[in-house]
């Protein structure tokens, strides 16, 4: 995971989490319930301020998360006390599944992979696959290409924003042992007209 990006979220945790909590979670409710069997074990990788992780618990999933930013973990537990003890301090690539308390049925990885340096992406996808049981599902979203980045694909705060077209994401998934079930594209829910979000739902094959 990109260290400068983690440092940004450590500095801006309260403002970032507050902005994301302002969004209506209705669309995510329907998608999570369609993607994962109710009551299954779901890992929210890069759970940030905890909005999606809290929603997963509310929907009846046995959910836990990972988040490398200490300030974001603290913000998540402050806003959602139910998350206390449920967030592990790991970045992508994830450690061995035993360190994560075992394999899971599903993974949510929302607005995370664009922050992974290019050389680490194959290992990041492979680690997500290793954390899944055969037949488990990976739910991924990333933003489309952003304007205003510098030559190293960083914004004014130093965050890395790599453009990950759907074909690239699906190819990385296939190489890691994940087959595509569905893809989608939608506008930004914070009202940023220049940003569109891409999503895909992937399923783990029998062997990583």
Return all residues near 24 (Cβ < 8 A) that are at least 6 apart. 189
Residue 192 confidence (pLDDT): 74
The pLDDT-based confidence of 206 (bands split at 50, 70, 90) is confident
The torsion angle over the Cα atoms of residues 83, 8, 13 and 41, rounded to 10 degrees, is -20
Phi then psi dihedrals of residue 188, to 5 deg: -70, 130
Handedness of CA 123, 128, 130, 134 (dihedral sign): negative
Residue 207 confidence (pLDDT): 63
- C-alpha closest to that of 71 among 3, 2, 14, 4: 14
Residue 126 has pLDDT above 90, yes or no: yes
Domains of the chain: 3-204 (3.40.50.150)
Cβ-in-10-Å burial (0-12, 13-18, 19+) of 135 comes to exposed
The pLDDT-based confidence of 61 (bands split at 50, 70, 90) is very high
| pTM across the whole model | 0.93
At 80-113, the pLDDT tens digits run 999 999 999 999 999 999 899 899 999 999 999 9
Residue 208 has pLDDT above 70, yes or no: no
Both structure tokens of 2: 């990109």
Judge contact between 21 and 47, C-beta under 8 A. Answer: no
Residue 140 has pLDDT above 60, yes or no: yes
If you average pLDDT over every residue of the chain, what do you get?
A: 92
């Amino acid at each position: 995971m990109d260290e400068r990006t983690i440092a940004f979220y450590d500095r801006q945790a309260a403002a970032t989490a507050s902005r994301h909590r302002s969004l209506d979670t209705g669309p995510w409710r329907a998608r999570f319930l369609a993607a994962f069997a109710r009551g299954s074990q779901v890992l929210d990788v890069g759970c940030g301020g905890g909005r999606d992780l809290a929603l997963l618990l509310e929907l009846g999933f046995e959910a836990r998360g990972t988040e490398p930013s200490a300030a974001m973990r603290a913000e998540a537990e402050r806003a959602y006390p139910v998350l206390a003890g449920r967030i592990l301090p790991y970045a992508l690539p994830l450690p061995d599944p035993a360190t994560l308390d075992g394999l899971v049925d599903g993974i949510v990885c929302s607005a995370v992979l664009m922050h992974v340096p290019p050389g680490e992406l194959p290992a990041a996808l492979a680690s997500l696959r290793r954390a899944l049981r055969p037949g488990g599902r990976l739910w991924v979203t990333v933003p489309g290409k952003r304007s205003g980045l510098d030559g190293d694909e960083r914004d004014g705060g130093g965050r890395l924003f790599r453009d990950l077209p759907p074909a690239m994401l699906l190819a990385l998934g296939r190489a890691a042992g994940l087959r595509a079930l569905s893809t989608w594209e939608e506008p930004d829910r914070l009202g940023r007209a220049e940003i569109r979000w891409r999503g895909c739902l992937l399923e783990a094959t029998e062997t990583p």
